[in-house]
Amino acid sequence: MSNITWLLGSLAIIISTVVGWFVSKKMASTDHSVLEVPVVAPESPQEAVTVSNPQVTTPTVPQASTGQIEPNWSTPKAAWHSVRVLCDSAGLNLEEKNLLCACIYQESQFLNTATHKNFVGGVLSSTDWGLCQINDWWHVTKYHDFPSAEFIVNNPDKAVAFMIDAYKNGGLSQWVSYSSGAYRQWLSPGSKMWMLAQS
């Protein structure tokens, strides 16, 4: 029996020595997110090995850019794409997005520099401006939706947002492209509007 006691005592000393050696060598965590915690070696073979609570640190994750890509209005193709992105951002589905794009194509062919003068009795009564052909008499002078015609042309994203909002609130009929049904000719995948995506 004394041989077994001696053997257990020797084994406890060896384990204690080995554990102490490993504790002195702080091994780094492979995922770099866990702080290694030393193990307390037992004083005698009968004591339990205790482990203190590990402290976990959250690794630093690089943040993705939160900035959005600026819309591009420099060409009809770029403007067509920018309108579709704004429609997506506004939560329009594919059919609604295609309808709005067809209306804009009928109005300006996605040219932000487009203007259309309206005459009554040979007298200029108003002008439609920009990508969405916003009428200056109705939306600048009368209802003050925009501060000026220049603002409409310089901020096509605001004009598109205005048109999207009008659509959502049942007001798209104020554009002749919609009320006349002329936009429908551009919904076909073979139309000139769809060729913008391929040019």
pLDDT in tens, 10-69: 555 555 554 454 444 443 333 333 333 444 444 544 544 444 454 544 445 444 444 567
At residue 140, does pLDDT exceed 50?
yes
Q: How many domains does the chain have?
A: 2
pTM: 0.66
- Output the average pLDDT for the chain: 80
The confidence band for 70, taking pLDDT boundaries of 50, 70 and 90, is confident
Which domain, by its residues, includes 123?
76-198
pLDDT recorded at residue 196: 86
Residue 67: inside a domain: no
Say which CATH number the domain at 117 has.
1.10.530.10
> What is the percent of the chain where pLDDT is above 70?
66
Same domain, 45 and 80: no
The confidence band for 113, taking pLDDT boundaries of 50, 70 and 90, is very high
At residue 85, does pLDDT exceed 60?
yes
At residue 178, does pLDDT exceed 70?
yes
77 vs 10, higher pLDDT: 77
At residue 151, does pLDDT exceed 90?
yes
pLDDT recorded at residue 61: 45
Residue 71: inside a domain: no
Cα separation, 195 vs 199, in Å, equals: 6
Same domain, 85 and 183: yes
pLDDT recorded at residue 159: 98
3-state secondary structure the chain: CHHHHHHHHHHHHHHHHHHHHHHHCCCCCCCCCECCCCEECCCCCCCCCEECCCCECCCCCCCCCCCCCCCCCCCHHHHHHHHHHHHHHCCCCHHHHHHHHHHHHHHHCCCCCCEEEEEECCEEEEEEECCCCEEHHHHHHHCCCCCCHHHHHHCHHHHHHHHHHHHHCCCHHHCHHHHCCHHHHHCCCCCHHHHHHHC
